[in-house]
Structure 1
Amino acid sequence: MSSFIIYDLETTGLDPAWNVPLQAALIYTDEELRPLGELSLRCALPAHVVPSPGALLTTGIRPSQLDQAPMSCLDMLGQIARAIRAWSPATILGYNTLHYDEEVLRHSFFSHLLPPYSTQAMGLKRADLLVMLRAAIMLEPDAIAIPVGEDGKRSLKLGAVCRANGIPLAEDEAHDALFDARATLALFRLLKERAPGTVALMLANAHKSGPIRLLSSGDLICLGGHSALVPAVGIMPSPDNATSWATADLSIDPVSYLNGTAEEVAKLLTRSGSRPVRMVKTNSQPIVLAWEDAQHALSADRLPDAVYHDRARMIRQHQAFQRHLTAALQNRFADRQPSIYPDATLYSGGFLTDADARISARWHELPWDQRGALVRHLGDVRLQAFANRQMFLQAPECLSQEARRKGRDWLRDRLTTEEDVPWLTLPRALEEVAELRAAVDQQDADSNAHLDAIESWLRERNERHQTAA
């Protein structure tokens, strides 16, 4: 039996490294998608985070609500982590979560001394209903009604798709975590009923072992993007990341690139337009399907199967190309400069050790006046910085007078600096308000009143910190 955890987050902004959830909703179901438990949480805004005015306008969160929530962000994240552990084993699923909510959750767990990869712990799988919906559109196009916007393009926004299929999710309910989680569950139930074959195939990819098995077989497969399937074959995993696979698009004749130089092969991974070599993240539920399951959905101008088999064989047997591609994969991120800010080093600063994970877990269990003594035992300087930050934000009375002074200086600089920094500051947020106001319809009284409240709140906070300086 396999249970599900359906979840949604509403956050302070779009960049996962610098934003946190303000709302979270999780629904626990059995294999038949019958609800077994529900969790709806809201937290106060951490003092060092400036929420994006655009995010507040979209979610409908008023500035007055930011300080009135019943718990801290640290407490809310702890509840989310405990719920995931308690409801495991399960498949964790949301709508557009793998590329957004999941990243916010990872970075927030990381900066709050919780296991950043909690959703990939033993017994857990990860799925994304948006990805599954795209697969269904390709494989079973008549299963779900897809709305078309005024621009003539189809809309895959959660609310639009739900309403097109008789699932209630009004505009004023969308972007509330609990309403969105319930709508995601209802849409998943409908997709499972109308496109059971697609759902079964995609749930098999909710764990990396499914896509890796197909990619490593050497057989023809079908690889899906946002709107179309192409014939493909797995080439090789990245030398430094076994979950990332280089895959050849067989609709492109490999004769055009196999004899290229090492530099030319490296450019295949980044060139614009159609790419003959695509990278597939096997742990992010890719649309990678067995040939017999999906070839019927290939484009009408597909070539004979024999052509694709020949192309796959040419790629596998071309030793120079294999060497050049291996080198390209090894050097793929060599020119990236590591961030000087710990918040942005989840992927570049190395994995956390088991010892630090145990100390972090103990840190959460202790009263605040005992946590400071534990910080020095953390081997990872990033975790030390995060722990000291939380001490200042949550329990400044437990710090020395000098430590509190340093904390106040750090917070003021974090919020009001005019330097070019990767996070949102109060001055830049005020500029964003002006940009939003120019784009909002002047007849939209509610949106303009909301922007007035946001601007007033930002100005008051900015002036307070400037005065303190």
Structure 2
Amino acid sequence: MNFLVYDFEASGLAVAWDVPLQAAFVETDGDLRPLRQTVLRARLPAHVVPAPEALLITGLDPDRIEAAPLSQLELMRAIASILDAASPTTILGYSNLKYDDELQRHIAFRTLHPPYATSMPGFQRADVLIMLRAVAMLAPDAITIPVTPHGKPTMQLGPVCRANGIAFAEADAHDALNDVHATIALFRLLRERAPAVITAMMTNAHKSGPAGLLAGPGPVGLGLFNRMMPAGGIMPVPGNASSWAVADLTVDPAYLDATPEQLGELLFARGERPIRLVKTNAQPILLPWEMVAPDAQGEIPSAGHCQARLARIRGHARFRDNLAIALSGRFTGKEPSPWPDAALYSGGFISREDAITSRRWHEVAWDQRVRLGRELLGDVRLKAFANRWAWLESPEELSVAEREKGAAWFAHRLDTLEDVPWLTRPAALQRIAALKAVAGPAEPDRLRQLDAIQRWIAGRGRTFSQAA
């Protein structure tokens, strides 16, 4: 199977609120030979305030962002076409399962594209950072993990590449295409130096691999941040088959007679957690126990002892019933977000009818898009997004009342002083002032960059509002 390796550079780290400004995709064959590459650059929507820290790291200056050829809607249509053309493929990145995939999922949702497209048939998802962690634990002689000046190991892409002979200058980092090529080079190196570990980890690129291991009869090896432990699958989470409750078999299961409330506390306890949740669709470090047992650290029970504990856990019917209750109620009492941007996971799946209407929405002119948003979209989240984009992109198609409502939303989004989950303009300007105070006159280039960002953030929203 081919690979589709990608990276985003974005306006910030808040996936429900920030947007990609640069995207790079390199499709390779199974031997990691590049077949084609695409680089996309997009403008920042007027309602999104970028994190100044993100702009400093990526080096994306305001003029370059404003001159980008694509809107966010055009960017996401291009990405949807790349995904369609690449399938079947394995999507690969560096820390992508934690960040880039989540960013893509949320911005697809907010631009009326299928948010779970990369989880559909035809795709597998893998993360080179997760596989690097597995190699560092199970084949430590195969890879060099660099150490910071403070004496702490680091797995940042640039330092890891340089420590292992891959040319990747710090000045080249945080450019999407450069990051993609560095990711490919590091993945190739891991496959060459630790083939058994990488082969085993690649079976977890599809959720069926980890699910099969957890449903099997014996213990498995579960990789935590820096150690392997024997574990056993207990059950999938009710209502979410991609999440499994897993028992730590180094812990005596004295909790078998616990109440659902007590089990709920154990799931999120600090320190030792006898029951953990594992996402089977996020390439967990989950491998056959016999493969990882020689590298497990600490006091590890014998294989027979682990098997006996797992049998006790699985054979205790009341415990399984109580755990199912605890898992079903773990979000009880949690208020859903009042903001549609943050409601991807709390508002339910998009209906087939709304998915069809959303696809049609991208195919017609703005006057028809406004009608589809008003009359046919049933999901209130998608309605809000459709109205938003109409106000931002083609306000003349809206009624006077709709334009006034859009203007009020825009003003609140940019400049509210309320405690909100997105970055506002006043909060961003405060961050810039703090960054300037830390930089001081000894860093003139950084101060010039912060001045440019400050002027841009302070002025762009007002200019757009007047034009609208």
Specify the alignment match of 2:115 in structure 1: 116
Which of residues 346, 360, 363 is equivalent to 1:362? 360
Q: Does 1:156 align with 2:136?
A: no
Q: What is the aligned partner in structure 2 of residue 242 from structure 1? A: 241
TM-score using structure 2 length: 0.96
Percent of aligned pairs sharing the same letter: 51
What corresponds to 1:311 in structure 2?
309
C-alpha distance after superposition, 1:341-393 (max 9, x if no partner): 11111001010111111111111111223222222111212111111111111
Q: Is structure 2 residue 63 aligned with structure 1 residue 64?
A: yes
**Shift in Å, 1:27:** 0.5
Query: Equivalent residue for 1:91?
Result: 90
1:412 corresponds to which letter in structure 2? A
2:215 aligned with 1:216: yes
Judge which range, 40-49 or 434-443, deviates more.
434-443
- In the TM superposition, 1:163-178 aligns within 5 A as 163-178=162-177
* Aligned counterpart, 1:276: 274
Report the equivalent of 1:352.
350
Change in CA separation of 1:133 and 1:301 when aligned onto 2, cut-off 3 Å: same
CA contact (8 A) 2:220 2:231 kept: yes
Q: Is the 8 A contact 1:416 1:465 kept in 2?
A: no
CA pair 72-265 structure 1, distance change in 2 beyond 3 A = same
Instruction: Tell me the amino acid that sits aligned with residue 39 of structure 2.
Output: S
Structure 1 residue aligned with 2:138:
139
How many Å separate the matches in 2 of 1:468 and 1:112?
A: 23
Q: For the residues of structure 1 that align with 2:303 and 2:400, how far apart are their CA atoms?
A: 74
CA deviations over 1:105-134 (Å, ceiling 9, x no partner): 101000000010111121100111100110
Moved more, 365-374 or 323-332: 365-374
The answer for the alignment partner of 1:207 in structure 2 is 206
Q: Per the alignment, do residues 135 and 319 of structure 1 end up closer, same or farther by CA in structure 2, a change over 3 Å counting?
A: same
Q: Hey, what does 1:335 align to over in structure 2?
A: 333
**Cα deviation per residue 1:318-357 (whole Å; 9 max; x = unaligned)?**
2332222111101011121011111111001010111111
The residue correspondences of 1:279-428 to structure 2 (distance < 5 A) are 279-299=277-297, 301-375=299-373, 376-428=375-427
Matched residues in 1 for 2:150 and 2:271: separation? Answer: 23
Deviates more, 1:413-422 or 1:316-325: 316-325
Q: Does 1:265 find its partner at 2:224?
A: no
* Cα contact 1:416–1:466 (8 A) shared by 2: no
- Rounded to whole Å, the distance in 2 between the matches of 1:262 and 1:410 is 43
Gaps of 5+ in 1: none
1:8 and 1:89 map into 2 onto residues whose CA distance is 19
- The worse-fitting range, judged by mean Cα deviation, of 353-362 and 315-324 is 315-324
Task: Say whether the 8 Å CA contact 2:46–2:461 is kept in structure 1.
Answer: no
> What's the counterpart of residue 27 of structure 2?
28
In structure 2, relative to structure 1, the CA distance for the partners of 1:414 and 1:316 (3 Å cut) is: same
User: Within 1, Cα distance between the matches of 2:448 and 2:158?
Assistant: 24
Give, as a single letter, the amino acid of the residue that structure 2 aligns with 1:184. Answer: T
SS state of the match for residue 115, structure 1? coil
TM-score norm. by structure 1 comes to 0.96
Within the alignment, does 1:4 sit opposite 2:3 as a pair? yes
* C-alpha separation in 1, matches of 2:233 and 2:436: 49
CA distance in 1, matches of 2:354, 2:41: 28
Q: CA deviation at 1:235?
A: 0.6
Aligned equivalents of 1:150, 1:238: Cα separation in 2: 42
Deviation of 1:261 after TM superposition, in Å, equals: 3.1
**Cα 1:438–1:254 shift into 2, 3 Å:** farther
Separation in 1, partners of 2:99, 2:365: 33
Query: For the Cα contact (< 8 Å) 1:97–1:128, is it kept in 2?
Result: yes
Please state how far the C-alpha of 1:246 moved relative to its aligned partner: 0.3
Paired letter, 2:216: S
In the alignment, the residues of structure 2 paired with residue 99 and residue 8 of structure 1 have an alpha-carbon distance, to the nearest angstrom, of 12
Q: CA 1:168–1:466 in 2, change beyond 3 Å: closer, same or farther?
A: same
Instruction: Give the 3-state SS of the residue equivalent to 1:254 in structure 2.
Output: coil
* SS of structure 2 residue aligned to 1:278: strand
Matched, 1:431 2:430: yes
Query: Do the aligned residues in 2 keep the contact of 1:167 with 1:186 (CA within 8 Å)?
Result: yes
Count how many residue pairs are aligned between Structure 1 and Structure 2.
467
* Consecutive unaligned residues in structure 2, runs of 5 or more: none
Distance of aligned partners of 1:351 and 1:70 in 2 relative to their CA distance in 1, 3 Å threshold? same
Cα distance between partner residues in 2 of 1:334 and 1:459: 41
User: Equivalents in 1 of 2:122, 2:261: separation in Å?
Assistant: 42
The one-letter code matched in structure 2 to 1:396 is P
Instruction: Tell me if the contact between 2:52 and 2:431 (Cα under 8 Å) persists in the aligned partners.
Output: yes
* d(CA) in 1 for partners of 2:411, 2:396: 18
Alpha-carbon distance, 1:169 to partner: 1.8
